[in-house]
A and B are shown apart, each in its own frame.
Chain A
Amino acid sequence: MTGGAPALAVRDVTKAFSGLVAVDAMTFDLAENEVMGLIGPNGSGKTTMINLISGAFGPNSGSIQLYGDDIAGASATAIARKGIARTFQIVRILPSLTVLENVAAGGVFGHRRRWGRELEEEARHLLDKVGLEVSGGAPVSALTYIDQKRVELARALIGDPRVLLLDEWLAGLNPTELKTGIALIEALRGEGRTILIVEHVMHAIRSLCDRCVVMNSGAKIAEGTPAEVLADKEVIRAYLGDDDA
């Protein structure tokens, strides 16, 4: 690839909403083939950070580079085409489309483009891979919550993204589903995908992530392996408050 440049390099990124600073001078790298966790208490700015990377909106200042290519402030469309795919905190399916079309939607206009038979085959292949055992022609609204999440993941994967952003993809799953979900991301990791995960499920973070960045009030407060950051005093204080530190 581009001679050693990290897959994603975030530098001094700041975003404020009418005075409220949601992301404050964030800086971190995501290396190729790395699975990194972005964690922090509720409202710490994780989802905003994901939205800045995926181009849902642009930062006020700072730079975000995808393999050395500055994408900060570019449109979501352009960023998707450059190879960043994402899932949403609250699952977003396309209700009037079939399951297969829902998956195919991600593979026509984005990073890796297919059409016709090739697209359909890839969509089926991915449905299989994310473990969805319904016929592709079924209406997507009839699916269970985890199956909708699977569809969303397949939609993100079909464009063969260079960086995959998972925004609380495991949230809302029951313990059995959670196991399946973790195994699924584990499999993606095995393929060498570059993934940024926002997650509250700590044991998932421990088992999946090479490294973690911890956010609080919009700023980075710690960075390191999951074991390191979860032992960090400031991280504990951020999660539990001063009294327990």
Chain B
Amino acid sequence: MDLIIVGLLLGGTYALMALGLQLQYGVARIMNLANGEVLVAGAFGAFWFYTGAKLSPFVTVLVVAPAAFVVNWAIYRYLLQPLVRRAKSRGHLEVDSILATFGLAFVFVGIMLAVFGGEYFSYSYLETAFVLLGERYALNRIAAFAASILLCGALAFWLNSTRAGLTLRAVAVNPASAGLVGINVPRVSAQAFAIGGAVTAAGGAMLSMFLTFDASIGVIFTLKALIIVILGGVGDIRGTIVAAFILGLAETAVATLLDPGLTLAAAYLLFIAILLFRPQGLFGRRPS
């Protein structure tokens, strides 16, 4: 029981991080290998404001997310759009964007190392116990979970029920046809990429409340987010959220029952299973 609740709490925060990547990959069609670094930057932002000015991470999010929005928009506009324009095929763009975002990931790591150094960071915020179903949980995990789910819900509502969200979904389904009905695809893609970055950074601020992190840990989160997105199906918001919970549960189970050092093995097991049995994702249709 304890295991399931801890797993679900972790999964909720993962969902936020993976939704960010989902927007970037599903709409803007960029497999962003620097996604984890954006998350870590969000975590550093929360850490910095908390230790420097005693600002709660929930307030910091209001600064971190817009900042990430601007940075990611600029990255898409000035670094990735030229690649989209010059690409001769989808495969060509894939290779280019993988290499470019991977390079960016290292640049981010380098910058964070220069600013914060190579140590591990954590801070104590809301470390009081919270009793749930007779067990005690750290309040920061519960708060991070609640805030993440709230943000996920808001995002899902925005995507499904507003005109702007509909535009985004149209581009996700088919950029060529979206262009034909008068949607400015490059602009919408840039927006989606920027929103994705903001969401991921917000996820980072939430995770920082209970996780220890360092400047070069981003790649692990990139990997987890990628596995969640593939598990849930590219372009499938509901699938992403379900997959995030599955990964949260699997990791918690492995960490509790086997060894905390094996969490990546849990992610890989899920990944292999999905590759062998449902490469189109949990709810995806088999592509013809």
Contact = CB atoms under 8 A, between A and B. Distances in A.
Contacts of B88: 95
A18 interface: yes
5 contacts: A15-B288, A17-B288, A18-B285, A57-B288, A95-B88
A interface, size bucket? under 10
B177 to A, nearest CB: 14
Interface of A: 15, 17-18, 57, 95
Contacts of A15: 288
A18 B288 CA distance: 9
B98 to A, nearest CB: 19
Interface of B: 88, 285, 288
B53 to A, nearest CB: 53
Nearest to A17: B288
A57 B286 CA distance: 12
A17 B285 CA distance: 10
A57 B287 CA distance: 10
Main secondary structure of the interface of A (DSSP, over half): loop
Contacts of B288: 15, 17, 57
Nearest to A15: B288
Contacts of A95: 88
A61 B285 CA distance: 18
Contacts of B285: 18
Nearest to A51: B288
Nearest to A60: B288
A57 B285 CA distance: 15
A17 B287 CA distance: 9
Nearest to A95: B88
A104 B73 CA distance: 46
Nearest to B89: A95
B173 to A, nearest CB: 12
A169 to B, nearest CB: 22
B145 to A, nearest CB: 35
A226 B54 CA distance: 83
Nearest to B286: A18
B234 to A, nearest CB: 16
Nearest to B285: A18
Contacts of A17: 288
Nearest to B287: A57
Nearest to B88: A95
A95 B88 CA distance: 11
Contacts of A18: 285
B236 to A, nearest CB: 14
B96 to A, nearest CB: 16
Top 5 A-B pairs, shortest CB-CB distance = A57-B288, A17-B288, A18-B285, A95-B88, A15-B288
Nearest to A48: B288
B174 to A, nearest CB: 13
A141 to B, nearest CB: 10
Contacts of A57: 288
A95 B288 CA distance: 26
A18 B284 CA distance: 11
B157 to A, nearest CB: 26
A148 to B, nearest CB: 15
A15 B288 CA distance: 10
B41 to A, nearest CB: 39
A57 B88 CA distance: 24
A93 to B, nearest CB: 12
Nearest to A57: B288
Nearest to A16: B288
B197 to A, nearest CB: 32
A15 B88 CA distance: 30
A139 to B, nearest CB: 14
A59 to B, nearest CB: 10
A14 B285 CA distance: 18
A95 B91 CA distance: 14
Nearest to A58: B288
A17 B288 CA distance: 7
A193 B96 CA distance: 43
A191 B288 CA distance: 36
